[in-house]
Structure 1
């Protein structure tokens, strides 16, 4: 089938999604155009609205429509516990699975010198400022168990050590090389509750 310019553009645009290859993108495009044009219109409006109005929370760096997210605005949360995660998806996963009531800091990535991602890109300067305030008593490292995730956890643990802050790491249940957002809730809850202190 010879695709028109706009159809090709739509297929290419859908390929930016994780796990969507050329065939899947073509199938989605054709479905939307043939069977659900109203759904396509709603999807386009929702995407445009999200891109224009959702940014990063000034405090924790998760996705939000406001300067400060709902979690950071919640005065009932425990300021002494700070959990470090790599992405907003992991904030959702941990809150749903563990009932964690402390605070979060979202790295939006992990240290990867080969990809040009260092402490500046992860805004570890903001984390440093937060640790220096003397409110955080325990730092919970919930980065993924990839090589980069482990290196990131080690780097942050050293930072916390300079401020005399107890540091723990989620431990068992999460497979090495696994991504937290894909781990089932029960496994994630066990890993979170069984975190261990780093020396």
Structure 2
């Protein structure tokens, strides 16, 4: 092949690579912005979830100032960390993976809390509906995070990777109510941190 022919092939290959890169970037941008919008909606609704839960349990949960000590939720990271703490090669994927693990755990525990509340407070329809909404929507959020991890060519562990570490919500009614409150408040904390982190991430994919 002539020198001119090889140059033409290189130029065409470079243009094709540029098109592929822009296509991947657009796809990632779309997922980032959709995920950010979903997290914004959940974050906006999370205070209502906590309020409905407190009211549904009666005293002392519905009393102003009632704040029990935080409980351990096996398999669920306790404190979210900000996206700005993760910089450098591979760190963006590590942050998303941490979020995926957390929301997998939250979906599991929200499902357990929902089953508990169906038994403990079967007439609290608004609370049951809100718990069901959060469980299903957070499962959708996990799918979005898996799409982002795939686009960044990072590992995408399934839920089975975490399942064995999860625990129950307790044996007694009191334990189940306390754990439910911790799940709802922990969910709100994670959503707030994720909203801030995804706002920064979205600004990079504008």
TM interval, short-chain normalised: under 0.3
Higher share in strand:
1
Q: Which has the higher contact order (CA 8 A, sep 6+)?
A: 2
Find the structure with the greater CA-based Rg.
Answer: 2
